[in-house]
Amino acid sequence: MGKMKLPFFFIFSLLACTSLATSAPNPPNFVVIFIDDMGYGDIGPFGSKLNETPHLDRMAAEGRKLTSFYVASPVCTPSRAALMTGSYPQRVGLERGSDHAVLFPGDPHGLHSDEITIAETLQKAGYATGCFGKWHLGDQPQFLPTSQGFGTYYGIPYSNDMWPGLKRWKFPDLPILQDTKVVDVVEDMDEQAALCRLFTEEAVKFIRTNKDKPFFVYLPHAFVHWPRQASPEFIKDGKTVETSQVEEVDWSVGQILDTLRDEKLADDTLVIFTSDNGPAGGLSAGPLRGRKGSAFEGGHREPTIAWWPGTIPSGTACDELCTAMDLHPTFAKMVGEPMPSDRVIDGRDIAPLLLGEDGAKTPHDRFFYQQGGKLAAVRSGNWKLFTNGQLYNLAEDIGEKSNVAEQNPDKAAILQSMLEAFQKDISENSRPVGTAPNSRTLVPRPGVKGDEGFIPTLQLGKSG
């Protein structure tokens, strides 16, 4: 990959970021728990009175809530691309899938092999790396986790609704992979319900196996994405399936944290809990406007907790703007590995925010929102401007109810220039999406024999 011209504001902010010193005593183990379609208001630490989340409540009491933590897109694939690379999804060609909002089974596109993921950076630093759950960055061999820095993988390659039960599309069976091999398929709702437990058990096993070396666990759950079913022990009279799933996710968090405690690893492990985008139907964005797919706060701002006993100050909260893109450069800084210098990385080191350093401020002077795979808004400070001209003051109006563009034309003009600069920057500093020739699904469509059963779903179009 050739070197790219870096914009001045990127070079300036990178230098400012790298000058920050962290107080982390030693490089920790890392665990990232990434929920699917959970909203800002779905867990106790962020105000839910509906769902009982004792393990997350304890995690927040022992750790730090990040109340202005954003993902880079309000839908699955682009959000995950940004987390892995530290770059906006437009930079890596994954602001959308192929002719759809996200990647589909057999899609010829995926995360390019030239991209450097958070797993590759940590693997280079000597970490054991494992991914357990929903990947959704391409299902062809060169796109799968084991080709992107993970030493082991157990999970589903895309969303759990991409199966024959969703009749709008001609989907194949939903495969479960061990590394690159299909070892099972999800055939019914009981097996959908088992996914949270399966992924949790694999992550726990990985932690116990690698307890004597540094490790990185990426646990991207399929829960709470539709179709929804929880394990029987979480289904109780009067509780919705959404509540049951949220409470099973809470159980999963408890399993991970209890394992770290049991193995005497708690003081040596940084755990991040968050979601890939805002809530789908039946779930809650709390005080925020908008949901999954939206450029309003509810689509991008996620319920996030950072936990590292003895290092992260307990029972605290941080309202400084930070993003999922920041995890890659932050972890890299902690382990002493450089980020790539031949490309634009949008994430920044947020260790001072995580560690509660006195006076720590966000390293971002702007953050960009997406909708439908396109640039939709920008936040700078407490001001947020949409491409349609709507302006909101998030400090006074977190629910984005009052458009104050007419009263603040100077603010709107400044943010409009940021939107225009970002569009220009992306046109000059983006990288290609990964492309796999002759792509095919991992398993055939039910009842279809021969090569025809492996035709990529999007090539078949919607069902009649």
Which entry of 17, 76, 131, 196 is annotated as an active-site residue?
76
Rg (CA), the chain: 21
Q: How many Å apart are CA 214 and CA 21, to the nearest integer?
A: 22
Contacts with 153 (C-beta within 8 Å, 6 or more apart), sequence order = 130, 131, 132, 135, 144, 145, 146, 177, 178, 179, 180
* Beta-bridge mates of residue 301: 70
Strand order, beta sheet including 128-134: 181-186, 174-178, 152-156, 128-134, 215-220, 29-35, 269-275, 304-307, 64-66, 316-318
What's 306's DSSP letter? E
Cβ atoms of 24 and 334 within 8 Å: the answer is yes
Q: Catalytic: 76?
A: yes
Residue 221 designated active-site: no
Residues 6+ apart with CB under 8 A from 85: 91, 92, 111, 115, 116, 117, 118, 325, 328, 345
**Helices 241-262 and 195-209: angle between axes, nearest 10 degrees:** 10
Q: Which one is catalytic: 55, 109, 112, 136? A: 136
The residues annotated as belonging to the active site are 76, 136
